[in-house]
Amino acid sequence: MSKKKRAEDILALQKMKLQSIQREREALLYAVQDKQDELTGVRKVLRQDRRAREDLVMDRLNGRALQGELTNLYGPEAAPRAVRQYAPSTAHSDTGREPTPLLDDIMSRRRQQHRNKQSEQEVELQRLIDEKQSILDRLEQKKRRPGDDWDTTVEESSHFPSRHSTQSARSIDSLVRQTRDNLPAMSANVRALRDYVENKYLRKSRPYNGELGSASYEPWQMKDFFMVRDIVEELVDVALDQFFRRKDPDVLLDTYDQLYELDKKDLENSVMAVSRRRAAILIAEEFIIEVTREMTRDTAEELRHIHEMSRAMGQDLVVNSTENVTTGIPEGRDPDDPAYDLVTRGVTHMTSERKRLRKEQWNHTQHLHMLGETVTEDDESPEEGDITTLSYLHLLPMNLRESDKLQDIFQNYSQEEAQHFKKMVPDVLVTFKISKRMQGISSAALSPDQRLLAVGSVHGDIMVYDVWMEPVPRPIREIRNEGTSDDEVLHIYWSLDGTRIITINETGVLLVWSIQSGGVHKEDIKALDLEKDSDGVFPAELSQLLVMDVDEDDFNFTEGPFFENQVQTGRFAPTVAAFHPSTTLFGTQSDLVICLENGDILKCDAEKLMLGDTKINKLTTPRVVSEKIQTGEWNSLGNGMEAELLRAHQFPVMLIGNIHNNGDLVTVDTKGYIFHWKYKRRHISSYDWFVPFKKYRLETAERTFTPTSNIQPKIIYTDVQKKEKQEKSRQDLARERDKAEDDIALLGLEDPWHRDYLPGKDLVTTIYKPTDVTQAGALFHIISRYQSTGQLSTYMTRLYKPKKLPASRILSCRFNTTGTEIFFMLLYPEHPPKDPHVTFVSVDVVTMEMTRLRIDHNLTDTEFERCVAGNAAYFDVTRPHDVTGSEYIVAVICGTVVGFSVNTGSYILGTRQDFTGCRLNPKEINWPAGTDIRVADVHGTFMLLSYMKKQNFVSVLKLQDKNPSSTRQRMWEAYKLWSDVYQPLRWRQEQTMQYQHWALSGRTYVDAELYVRHLLYEMMDRAIQQQDGKYHPDEVAAYKKEDKRTLQEMILGVQFPRSASVSPAPTPQASRLPTAGSKVSTQPISKAPSRQPTQSKSGGSKQPSGIGGNSRQATRGGQSQSGGNTGNSRRPSQR
C-alpha cells in the first residue's frame, strides 16, 4: 500500500473518530438533559406533596369540623344528601349551572340565621321601647290626676285607674305614699334598661371585632365559634408556610445534585472507552454499507422489472379477453386493423384515469351490464372527481348588505353614482324601420369597438348598422336571403378586429362574412327597402368567405383517424361559434371554434377556404399567435377543412368566449357546466382529442329558509292591539318599545336575510338570520318598522329551517366586454317569504371564482310564468363606464327595462319612482314581452337598442350625460377610493376615453392589413433589386400603380380591367409575387412578371361593379373551384 493511500486511510479514520466523538458528545448532552428532567420531576413531586397537605386540611375541615355544622343546618338525615348534591361530580350538570361549594352554602345559611336573629332582637327592642313609653305615660297621667281612684283589686288584668273604684280613701293614700317611695328605684331600673337596650343595639348594628371574647357566646353558639377558628387557623398556617417559610436546605435536592455529579464523572470516563470501540465498528460498517448498497440496487431493479412485466401481462390479458369477447375470434383483432390501436389506447386511457380520479371508487362509477345489454345514461352529467362546484350560497343580495352601506367609502361611491345617473337624461325614443320581408330581428351583436351592430332577421337577411351616426344608426352593409322560405339567424359573433362575422342559421348553415364591400345591387336595395345616406351612398353587400352546411357533412369528419374510428355518431348542427384567438401577421383570425348540438367542439383551420386560390390572396403568412399543434395525422371535415376535436360537454353549449378576449377558451353549456380549455399538447387525451384544463359547475340553487308550521312565532313586542284585549296606553307602548329596542341593540344583528315592503301599510319587514343555521333550524328575528318614521312596529322570533331552492332555468349568460367575467341570469320560483325573482351572479374566469355580485329582482306571477315559457327575459352588460368605472346590467323582463350597477348592485335605471337614478317614462318605454336588448356605450352616452321577432323596426333610446365637469370629477374621485378597497388588484378604467381618427404618415392606407401587405411588397422589391439590380424608374412607377390598384381591389372585393399601357415593358427581372407554396426566386428569368387579370370560372375577366352599376358577375353567389370567394350567395344549395 502506498504512503498516499495510508495517509488517506489515516485521515478517514480520524474523521470517523471525530464524528464518533461528536455523537458521544450529543449523547452526553442528552444524558444531562435526562438528569435535568429528573430534577424537574422531583420538584413536581414536592409541589404535589404540598398540594396534598392542603387538600388534607380541607378534607379534614370538610369531614370533621363541618360534620356538626351539616347536622345542625340540614339535620342528621339530610346532611349526607347535601354532601352528594355539592360533590365535584355534579360540577357540570344538565342545567349547565356551576353549583355553589358546600362551604359557601353553609356560610350563606349561617348568615341568614344571623340576619333572622338580628331581626328578632330588633322586634324585641321595639317592644321594650314601647313598654317603656307606656310606663312613662302612666306616670305622667298619675302626676296630672292625683285624686283619681285606682282599682287595685284587679292588678293582673289592668293597670289603669278607675273612677268608679270601691276602695276607701285610706287605702288610696297608702298606695300613693308607697308609689312615691318606689319612684327612685323605678327610675333607676328604667335608666339601666335604657342603657342596656342602647348598648345591645349598638353592638348589633356594627361589625363584631372580637372585643367580647369567647365568654360572650352562648353555649349553642360554641360549635360555630370553634369551626370558624379552626378554618382561620388552617388558612393562616398555609399562608405563613407559603410566604414566610424558613429556608431550610432541601436534603432530597442536595442528594440528587451529588448523584448527578457522580453520574457525570462516570459518563465522561465512559465516553472515551466507548468512542474507541465505536471507531473500529464504524470502519467495518462503511465497508458493509457499500456492499449492501450495490446489492440493494440490483434487487430493486429486478423487482421493478418484475412488477412492470406483471402489469403489462395483466393489461395484455384484459385487452385480449376484450378482443375475444367483442370479435368472437380467440386470437383477437389483426394488428393492422385501425380499431386495434383504438382499443389499446382506450385501455391505457381508462387506466390513467383510474389512477388520477378517485382510486378507491373508480370501479363503482362504471356501468355494470351484460354483453349486448343497452345502457341508459342519466339525464344529468356524472359528478366527476375533477369538477369544482362554484356556489354562491354564501352571498347575500347586494341591496341587503348593510355592512357595506355602513362603510363611508362605499356609501359615498354609491350616492355619487346614483346622483350621476339622476342627471342621465333619456333622449327621445327613435326608431328605424326594417323591411317587412325580414319579419323581425332574431339576433344581434355589437362589434368589439361598439360602433357596428350586426342584426340577423327571421327570414335570414343580415344588416350591419353604424350606431355612431346621427340621428339614427345608418346601414352600411347588407346581405339578402334570396330564398323564399325563412332561415332564421340564431347566432352572430364578431372577430376581434371587427372585420369578420360568423352567423349560424336555423337550417344548420354556418357562414363567415367580411365587412369588405361586395358591391351594391339594385335587387337588394329594392327588396330590403334601403335608401341612400346623406352622401348619396347605398349600403354595400357583405363579402362571403365561407359556407358550412350540416346537410353536406361539413361538421363531420370524413378523413383521418376520427373518421376511421367512427368518433362521431351522427349529424349535429352548430349552436354557437367564435373565432379562435390565433392570428396571422396581418392580424386576421382564420381559425373557427364551432360548438355542436351534442356538446362536441370543433377547432377548424378555415384560412385556405377563406382565401381561396386567387391571385390577390396568394400572399399568406403563418400564425404569429397560437401556432397549430401537430398531433399526428390530420383529421378533415366534409369540406376538406382541417379540424381538431374538443370533447367533454354532454349538453349543448350556450356560450363561448376567451379569457381577456384573446386567451384560453371558456365554454358554458345549458346545465351550468363551465370548462376551461388550454390549447396545449399535454391536454390531448389518449383518444387524440383535447380535454379541458379545468372543469367547473355553477350550482344553480340558492340557500333559503322555511318557517316551521308546527311552532308559532313568539311576539315580543307589537303595537297592534286586539279588540278583545284591554288597550294599552301610549306610555305603556312607549316603555315596551324602548325595552324591545334595547333588546334588539344587544343582539348585534348582522346583514338581513330578507326585506319586504308593504306600501299600503307603510311597513318594512326585515328578517335577520343567525350566523350559523343547522339542519334542525334556528331562531330568526323578524322586525317591522314604519317606512316614514323608522319607528318599531313589531318584533318577533320564529324558527326557520334551511333549504336549497333549485333554479327553474338558466335564462341567459353573457361575457363582459373585457372577457374577464361571465354573467348569469337565473330564474327562481316563489318560496315564501320570497317572491319569484331573477338572480344575476357572475364568475371571474381569470381566477374561476364567484365574484361578490348578486342581484335579485322580484317578479310577478305573470312575469314568472312568461319567463318559464321562454323568450321573455334578456339582458346585456355594458363596458366599464368612463367616469363611474363600473359595468352595468341592463335587462328587459317581460317588456320592463331595469338597470343595475355591477359595483354596488344599486337600481340605477328603470320605471320605478322610489329610487335615485335615471327614471324612464313607463308610457314611452312600453315594450312588449319578448323584446331583446343590446347596449352600446358611445362617448359616454348609453344607447339602448331593442328589437324582437315579428316587429319591423328597432328602437333606440339614448341616455345623455348632463352632469357638469365638477360632478364628474367628484364621481371619479369616489370611484378611485372605492376601487382601492374593493378592487385593489384590478385594472382601473380611465376617466375619459378620447376617440380619434388617425392615418399613417405619408400613406393613403388606413387599414392595417393593407399597410402590412404594402410593406411586404416594398421589402420584396428591395430584396430583388439588391440581388439583380435596380428597377427602371418606369417599372417602379408601374409597380406602385399596380400595387395600389391591387389593394383597392381587396377593399372593394372586385378587380378592375387593366389596359395595355398599365403593364410595364418586359425586362429580365424576377416576378415579385410568388406562387402558392413557393419561395421568392433569386435567379433572373427571361420574362417580365405577369400582370394579367384573374380569369373567372367561365374564362372571361371579372368586371367591376360600381354603386348602382348594371354589370353583375355571371355566377353571383358561387364559390370558385379552389374554394375561394367570388360571390355573395348565402344559400348552401348554390355553393
Residue 382 confidence (pLDDT): 46
In this prediction, residue 837 has a pLDDT band, given cuts at 50, 70 and 90, of very high
Cα separation, 891 vs 822, in Å, equals 15
Beta bridge partners of 703: 804
Phi, psi of 455 (to 5 degrees): -125, 140
Residue 999 CB contacts under 8 Å (≥ 6 apart), including other chains: 1006
Provide mean pLDDT across the span 543-563: 90
Sheet holding 574-579, edge to edge: 557-559, 635-637, 642-646, 601-605, 591-596, 574-579
pLDDT tens profile 854-908: 999 999 999 999 999 888 899 999 988 888 889 999 999 998 999 999 999 999 9
Among 378-382, 596-600, 953-957, the range scoring the smallest mean pLDDT is 378-382
CB atoms under 10 Å from CB of 799, counted, come to 17
Cell of 802: 334551511
Phi, psi of 464 (to 5 degrees): -120, 125
- Residues 771 and 800 sit within 8 Å (Cβ to Cβ): no
- Residues 810 and 802 sit within 8 Å (Cβ to Cβ): no
Cα separation, 514 vs 516, in Å, equals 5
Predicted confidence (pLDDT) at residue 1122 exceeds the cutoff of 80: no
Cα separation, 733 vs 387, in Å, equals 57
Cα separation, 901 vs 908, in Å, equals 7
Cα separation, 850 vs 696, in Å, equals 11
CB atoms under 10 Å from CB of 946, counted, come to 26
Cell of 75: 339535620
Cα separation, 177 vs 531, in Å, equals 149
Residue 361 confidence (pLDDT): 43
Residue 979 CB contacts under 8 Å (≥ 6 apart), including other chains: 885, 986, 988
In this prediction, residue 349 has a pLDDT band, given cuts at 50, 70 and 90, of low
Predicted confidence (pLDDT) at residue 166 exceeds the cutoff of 60: no
- Residues 631 and 684 sit within 8 Å (Cβ to Cβ): yes
CB atoms under 10 Å from CB of 618, counted, come to 15
Predicted confidence (pLDDT) at residue 274 exceeds the cutoff of 60: yes
pLDDT tens profile 503-547: 999 999 999 999 887 788 888 888 888 888 777 788 888 988 999
Provide mean pLDDT across the span 393-405: 84
Cα separation, 1017 vs 826, in Å, equals 54
Cell of 656: 363561448
Cell of 1073: 409575387
Predicted confidence (pLDDT) at residue 601 exceeds the cutoff of 90: yes
In this prediction, residue 208 has a pLDDT band, given cuts at 50, 70 and 90, of low
In 3-state terms, what secondary structure has residue 562?
Answer: helix
Q: Which of 1027, 1031, 1033, 1037 is nearest to 1084 (CA)?
A: 1027
Q: Which residues of 823-843 are buried (b: 16+ CB within 10 A; e: fewer)?
A: bbbbbbeeeebbbbbbbbbbb
Helix or strand run (H / E) with residue 888:
strand 888-893
Provide mean pLDDT across the span 296-303: 86
- Residues 696 and 707 sit within 8 Å (Cβ to Cβ): no
- Residues 835 and 859 sit within 8 Å (Cβ to Cβ): yes
**How far is CA 158 from each of CA 145, 153, 691, rounded to the nearest angstrom?**
18, 10, 120
pLDDT tens profile 148-165: 443 433 343 334 344 344
Residue 851 confidence (pLDDT): 92
Cα separation, 397 vs 853, in Å, equals 8
Q: Which of 898, 908, 927 is nearest to 838 (CA)?
A: 898
Cα separation, 543 vs 114, in Å, equals 111
* Identity at 1, one-letter amino acid code: M
Residue 1007 confidence (pLDDT): 60
Among 165-169, 712-716, 796-800, the range scoring the smallest mean pLDDT is 165-169
Cα separation, 14 vs 36, in Å, equals 33
In this prediction, residue 30 has a pLDDT band, given cuts at 50, 70 and 90, of confident
- Average pLDDT over the chain, rounded to an integer: 76
Provide mean pLDDT across the span 642-648: 91
**How far is CA 1065 from each of CA 869, 1068, 1080, rounded to the nearest angstrom?**
72, 10, 21
Residue 69 CB contacts under 8 Å (≥ 6 apart), including other chains: 106, 223, 224, 227
Pairing of strands 387-390, 694-698: parallel
Helix or strand run (H / E) with residue 979:
helix 965-982
Between 66 and 636, where is the model more confident? Answer: 636
pLDDT tens profile 122-146: 888 888 888 888 888 877 776 665 4
Cα separation, 373 vs 365, in Å, equals 17
Phi, psi of 187 (to 5 degrees): -65, -40
Q: What percent of the chain has pLDDT over 90?
A: 22
In this prediction, residue 43 has a pLDDT band, given cuts at 50, 70 and 90, of confident
Q: Which residues of 531-553 are buried (b: 16+ CB within 10 A; e: fewer)?
A: eeeeeeebbbbbbbbbbbbbebe
pLDDT tens profile 427-457: 867 888 888 888 889 999 999 988 999 999 9
Integer Rg of the chain from CA: 51
Cα separation, 541 vs 482, in Å, equals 13
Q: Which of 609, 601, 701, 616 is nearest to 653 (CA)?
A: 601
Query: Would you report the helix, strand and coil content of the chain in percent, each value rounded to 5?
Result: 40, 20, 40
- Residues 443 and 456 sit within 8 Å (Cβ to Cβ): yes
Q: For the whole prediction, is pTM greater than 0.85?
A: no
Residue 815 confidence (pLDDT): 94
Helix or strand run (H / E) with residue 673:
strand 673-677
Residue 952 confidence (pLDDT): 82
Crossing angle for the helix pair 338-356 and 251-327, nearest 10 degrees? 160
Residue 351 confidence (pLDDT): 67
Predicted confidence (pLDDT) at residue 1066 exceeds the cutoff of 50: no
Cell of 1002: 405619408
Q: What percent of the chain has pLDDT over 70?
A: 72
